[in-house]
Structure 1
């Protein structure tokens, strides 16, 4: 009769734990490998197939708490033959003064939109990943911008989002922003009356598009195909009123180091002790949205806002974008490689001295202040008199809703001469 060996409970427990961690590690690396597959990577970056709210009635914005006839469902055509669904929300003062025309139409909605664009500034709102233009927090932004900032709002769904055709890509989303801009311009909106506002993923789109306006302004010949406008033989650069970045990231590559899937599962955080592995995996990254490389090209006023309690994107990303404007005015630091970290006392002393010089110069370049009960603010405007760069770090506000803080809205109104301060 065969004898069965009874293992001690401690040994059985250790075997179970070991198997659990082997399965966990195997699943983790399998997910990382799947992330290198283009189709899967696209779903992770854009989440465009998560069309929330589901079964949306885009032709009935009132279903999503917007006032009757205040928001118009429009279609926008891109230069590469995609069609975008978008909502155009009228500024509150215009809506109130034209209610009779809206409820018992005496003129077409197209004519009313043109009139609204002439009468009030317009916000081109570029939303974040996933969901649609009918998502509750996005609707709250339209309502807030229309009332507190007294601005029209154009909110397109990128290609592949909502009821828009196509599939998203970095270049494609930039074309979508361009198409939305052209839609406004074709209806009479002046560039200086358009404020570009991006949230989360939309900040990457906003920076890419705004910088493309700058580069097109160097080479373009007409506003519909470039960044210049021709008016009676006079050529001038196409520049928006400004750019606002809400909960921005410096680039996708850096974001991966701190990103948590569903705010729970760390993506590359476990690989921090192994930078060569994470560096290898990043080689397969297709969608980069490198705002850090482009943001300093902007020549228009820029406001960057980020909350300390943002659990999706750390506020250090926005601080990095702000600091990029200072770098050309500061003595460069050597890269903190392993060689420098283990270098002689003389090299370490040199690096410490440079760091001290940079800190002193930074205090001279930046005007820092506290916004009572909101957060802190840094302002830089010494390199170009026509471009002010502002970073507001709020104490709260989360990720999707930092733009709904009234203190932030007040500063947008003040900085861009909108709403009650206009």
Structure 2
């Protein structure tokens, strides 16, 4: 005889099974993330080569002016070959159209050398996924070439686009070095090269820039930066929908265990303070990929050596005597007062707020602009941000 369960019991069983399947799938995906191949896809998304079936030799297909952008090849020290686009500064392009419309390989090379002598150059290090032909990246080249009157070199890292190899943290650092060397070999002066990184590219810029000692660029701009991959995982959503480690916040020991398997760390927080050039951090409040608190953390890292250290807030300290609690509160107050003295804070009308710090480093100013809008991939396209880049790094631009 079959016993028919009450509808409520059947419903609860379905719900229970659903959550068991959901939890099982979630932990399976986390386990897969520890597999090097899968982790590489998650960090770089380099096999998502959008736009698909790209014609790299025809930049005009992607809204760039005829012969303004040159498809070039860059060779790295470990024998990889990178595809890259070199976009001429608008004034140079306009004044050399006659030569550009009758190009030869030798004349193109000479024109690139002439452009590097005549205008500053931006080395643009893009974010994860897609290629150098991705629309928002092309918009950056266009606006840098016109509004900042700068040449732009935009390489695809190894494994991205039509570049050879497989991406890794060390490999992308070598790629940035190779792109820098390509510019230097063609006559660009270090002080005429501005490094601009976006998202993943900020980790590359910090990693490589922190290791550079002999040749210093004009400066570094980090758009939508992260402090390190490990911290980013705590707030990251896959495809902006699926939380990665957010459900594990109540269980820090589990997330800590999983992070032990992290291979690609990009610890910008450790590297960025080693930069010896002016630094601009820009981050939007409506960035749903990387919270703007990451850029704030990077900015604050430069202040730490000038502030009294706070004890690590362990459970023992938090549960200590009132005397200890008073001491910690006093230190926090001292830090807040000193911070106000060290940092110049101001509003950029209709753009956002700005903090600047330059104590003991007048030629190595650090600035953080927190914009009210701009998103993740497009914060660098805000004209108010471009204006400040022009001012801070003495770039010429069309008003």
Shift of 1:7: 1.1
Shift of 1:236: 9.4
Shift of 1:420: 3.1
Shift of 1:300: 0.2
CA distance 1:156–1:236, shift in 2 (3 Å): closer
CA distance 1:8–1:183, shift in 2 (3 Å): same
CA distance 1:421–1:345, shift in 2 (3 Å): farther
Query: Distance in 2 between the 1:131 and 1:104 partners?
Result: 32
Contact 1:305 1:394 in 2 (8 A): yes
Shift of 1:105: 3.5
* Equivalent in 61, 64, 67 of residue 66 of structure 1: 64
The residue that corresponds to 2:182 in the other structure is 183
The 5 Å alignment of 1:365-404 reads 365-404=342-381
Equivalent residue of 1:390, what SS? strand
CA distance 1:72–1:14, shift in 2 (3 Å): same
Contact 2:193 2:217 in 1 (8 A): yes
Moved more, 57-66 or 344-353: 344-353
Contact 2:348 2:354 in 1 (8 A): yes
The residue that corresponds to 2:4 in the other structure is 6
Shift of 1:384: 1.1
Moved more, 19-28 or 338-347: 338-347
Report Cα offsets for 1:145-200 as digits up to 9, x if no partner.
Answer: 00000000000000000000000000000000000000000000000000000000
Query: Distance in 2 between the 1:181 and 1:402 partners?
Result: 24
Equivalent residue of 1:230, what SS? helix
Moved more, 406-415 or 348-357: 348-357
Equivalent residue of 2:212, what SS? strand
TM-score (norm 1): 0.92
Shift of 1:336: 1.2
Report Cα offsets for 1:96-143 as digits up to 9, x if no partner.
Answer: 000011112486100000000000000000000000000000000000
Query: Distance in 2 between the 1:269 and 1:341 partners?
Result: 25
CA distance 1:360–1:251, shift in 2 (3 Å): same
CA distance 1:421–1:139, shift in 2 (3 Å): closer
Give the root-mean-square deviation of aligned CA atoms. Answer: 3.2
Contact 1:259 1:312 in 2 (8 A): yes
Report Cα offsets for 1:20-56 as digits up to 9, x if no partner.
Answer: 0000000000000000000000000000000000000
Equivalent residue of 1:125, what SS? strand
Moved more, 393-402 or 350-359: 350-359
Query: Distance in 2 between the 1:233 and 1:339 partners?
Result: 36
CA distance 1:234–1:402, shift in 2 (3 Å): closer
Query: Distance in 2 between the 1:233 and 1:281 partners?
Result: 28
Contact 2:204 2:266 in 1 (8 A): yes
Contact 1:413 1:421 in 2 (8 A): no
CA distance 1:10–1:168, shift in 2 (3 Å): same
CA distance 1:26–1:301, shift in 2 (3 Å): same
Equivalent residue of 1:362, what SS? helix
CA distance 1:38–1:302, shift in 2 (3 Å): same
TM-score (norm 2): 0.97
Query: Distance in 2 between the 1:337 and 1:49 partners?
Result: 42
* Equivalent in 208, 211, 216 of residue 239 of structure 1: 216
- Name structure 2 gaps, 5 residues minimum: none
TM superposition outliers: structure 1 runs of 4+ over 4 Å? 229-236
Contact 2:124 2:152 in 1 (8 A): yes
Shift of 1:383: 2.4
Moved more, 345-354 or 409-418: 345-354
1:103 and 2:80 are equivalent in the alignment: no
Report Cα offsets for 1:338-387 as digits up to 9, x if no partner.
Answer: 21222221111111111111000000000000000000000000121211
Contact 1:241 1:301 in 2 (8 A): yes
The residue that corresponds to 1:75 in the other structure is 73
Equivalent residue of 1:76, what SS? strand
Contact 1:83 1:164 in 2 (8 A): yes
Query: Distance in 2 between the 1:234 and 1:310 partners?
Result: 29
Query: Distance in 2 between the 1:314 and 1:231 partners?
Result: 23
Shift of 1:8: 1.2
Query: Distance in 2 between the 1:99 and 1:117 partners?
Result: 16
Report Cα offsets for 1:267-317 as digits up to 9, x if no partner.
Answer: 001111111111110000000000000111111000000000000000000
Aligned length: 398
Contact 1:414 1:421 in 2 (8 A): no
Equivalent residue of 2:397, what SS? helix
